[in-house]
A and B are shown apart, each in its own frame.
Chain A
Amino acid sequence: MKDAKSKQPILDVKNLKMYFPIKGGLLNRKIDDFKAVDDVSFSIQRGKTFGLVGESGSGKTTVGKCILRLVEPTSGQIIFDGADLTRLNAGQMRDQRTHMQMIYQAPAASLNRRMTIGQIIGEALWLHERLNARDRRKRVLELLDIVGLKSEHYYRYPHEFSGGQQQRVGIARALAVQPQLLILDEPTSALDVSVQAQILNLLQQLQDEFDLTYLFISHDLGVVRYMCDEIGLLYLGKLVEVADSETIFEQPKHPYTQALISAIPDPDPDITREEIILTGDIHTKVSDIGCPFAPRCHAAKVPACDTALPPLVNTNENHFVACHLHLADEDAPQKEAYA
């Protein structure tokens, strides 16, 4: 708060929790919670890209949907541009939503297959600013040009496009409402490698041009490194490590991060690195009280691993880690909690 307005993050997620009830028993009563997102906090500065990385089932997409309030979070705050979204009613949220748009993993499924490209993008313009038909058409053609499509694509249907082109349409539709924040939910994971690079380049170009802020959700560390300024690693709904992109890749501290980074294939066949093989999968979990990663952890354990949940603490210049090993051995002067 003491910082200047420009230093205030555009998006500040505080203690976000999303619990889905598990129902069962004779009367179908709630017997437990599935903690899809459990106490996640992070913030993104305007114009920057924050990468949210995790395996399938880690809760990364749920975080994105909570921010857009496509699902109602159980608790926590989502402060967007100074306003707490969790306190808005449906009508106010509808006004806010256009400031944030989502780009989907499966581009074909994110477009109505019975509408032409012109209609799809045009409808976004109609919903946003009630443009008349002529202005809408003009603006759609501009947007098609911005995302690298051509005017003759105006009357085509989604199925007539390649995956990359469909994703461009999705991006054009999102840009139509002049958003400030784009939530990119694995935007390239369904695409060929050559097309991935084109879409990523387009996204970077658009970020510079329109001063966009990105929340980049992905499991592909290579892509994340290329795209993101800051990275948070999510494991079973909890952030285990947050730092700027450089630090994550050069000095990973959490054993989970270390394992993921060691698994990135190196294009040079002569270089052999020691790869850390994780056992089990993300749902391998033994106790409710210990570190959620403990059952799969390859690092030397301390007794606390099985008995206490490690908090996310600042171990070094804004390098946040949730691991008992780093709580124990580093005597960093300030061990404040993150955010």
Chain B
Amino acid sequence: MADFITDDKPVSIDDGRSHRWENLRRGVYRFRSNTMSMLGLSILVFIFAVAILAPYIAPYPKDATTGVNPVARFTEPGAEHPFGTDRIGRDIFSRVLIGTGLALKVGTTIIVLATSIGVTIGAVAAYFGGWVDELLMRFTDIFLTVPGLVLAIAVTAALGRGIDNAMIGIALVWWPGFARLTRSQVISIKEEPYVEAIRGLGAGNLRILFRHILPNAISPIIVKMTTDFGFAVLTAAALGFIGVGAQPPTPEWGAMINEGRDYFPDEWWIATFPGLAIWLMVFSWNLLGDGLRDVLDPRSRR
């Protein structure tokens, strides 16, 4: 009885992995009990599988690059061409499949670049405060005062047309959101007593910021990365659509819609199927993001 305060539950094994495992299991359970987020995850698993297998399952892989087949131009969707063909007879189905990997690469690059820039700037501004904060956040405001898409078009046009420059251009207008989110997180966390305690133990600024503050600020950042992924792909498609992004014959969905624009609505399939692919991509990342928000929100943690 004497030690009941320090021994409130019987524990037989000297191992915390079981506790960590327990927390993970609860998170997975909460995620799984949300039908919509499970749907989002399932679609994404499917999308990733398609991206990996596309070169092997696409019926006309050459059509994604240099292939032309003028004889079969403007074929309606059917057994031979499930999504039909475009004005030079390329198989839309093959191009959409092979474009999946490109869309994922574009989204990943934009989000990783934007997160690295935004989190660093936001965290440094919030942690050091004062004139550092003022300087960095006014710099961030400059990017926020210009509409994102317009700025992205301008940057991409200045760097030169093409999908790689489009990714850089979009990332450069995307980071301010991450900077502001990170800043607000870090500002509230840096005042917590545990941060003061670790400083009192002699820890330096870098250790405090990267080992103690950022890990506790990461949840909403991960949620934003997930939700933004779809929109980043959408923005890249928009740049492709207006012609400054991916250049023909790259099977980029936005550029494909642009090519199909002139033949709509008579040859509706040329623009519709890439459009559906974009929609599915944005939709599934959003569902996943919402599900992750429920799991990672500290208030709903045990």
Contacts and interface: CB of A to CB of B under 8 A. Distances in A.
Contacts of B212: 112
Contact of A70 (B5, B196, B203, B216): B196
Contacts of A98: 201-202
Interface in B1-55: 3, 5-8, 11, 13-17, 19-20, 23
A101 B194 CA distance: 13
A148 B197 contact: no
A162 B5 contact: yes
A101 to B, nearest CB: 6
A70 B198 contact: no
Contacts of A127: 201-203
B199 interface: yes
Contacts of B5: 162, 164-165, 195, 198
B130 interface: no
A111 interface: yes
Contacts of A176: 201
Interface string A42-79: 00000000000000000000000000101000000000
Contacts of A116: 16
Given A104-B193, A159-B302, A198-B5, A154 B202 contact: no
B239 to A, nearest CB: 38
Contacts of A87: none
B194 A155 contact: no
Interface string A150-171: 1110111101101011001010
B192 interface: yes
Given A110-B194, A116-B16, A165 B6 contact: yes
Contact of B199 (A70, A95, A162): A70
Nearest to A68: B200
A291 interface: no
Contacts of B193: 104-106, 109-110
Contact of B197 (A110, A150, A151, A154): A110
B6 A177 contact: no
A123 B198 contact: yes
Nearest to B19: A156
A118 B192 CA distance: 20
B194 A109 contact: yes
A278 to B, nearest CB: 30
A338 B216 CA distance: 46
Interface in B155-205: 192-194, 196-203
A123 B202 CA distance: 10
B147 interface: no
B17 to A, nearest CB: 7
A112 B16 contact: no
Interface string A71-108: 00000000000000000000000110110111011100
Nearest to A116: B16
B200 A70 contact: yes
A173 B201 contact: yes
B200 A102 contact: yes
A335 interface: no
B215 interface: yes
Nearest to B11: A152
A103 to B, nearest CB: 9
A176 B197 CA distance: 13
A114 interface: yes
A259 interface: no
Interface string B199-233: 11111000000001001100000000000000000
Contact of A112 (B6, B7, B216): B216
A68 B193 CA distance: 14
A231 interface: no
A150 B8 CA distance: 11
Interface of B: 3, 5-8, 11, 13-17, 19-20, 23, 192-194, 196-203, 212, 215-216, 301-302
14 contacts: A70-B196, A94-B202, A97-B201, A105-B193, A112-B212, A113-B194, A113-B216, A123-B201, A148-B3, A151-B14, A155-B14, A162-B8, A164-B5, A165-B5
Q: Considering the complex of A and B, which 3 residue pairs feature the smallest CB-CB distances, nearest first?
A: A155-B16, A110-B193, A104-B193
Given A101-B200, A148-B3, A152-B13, 19 more contacts: A70-B199, A70-B200, A95-B202, A100-B200, A109-B193, A109-B194, A110-B196, A112-B194, A127-B201, A127-B202, A128-B202, A148-B6, A150-B7, A155-B14, A155-B15, A155-B16, A155-B20, A157-B19, A170-B197
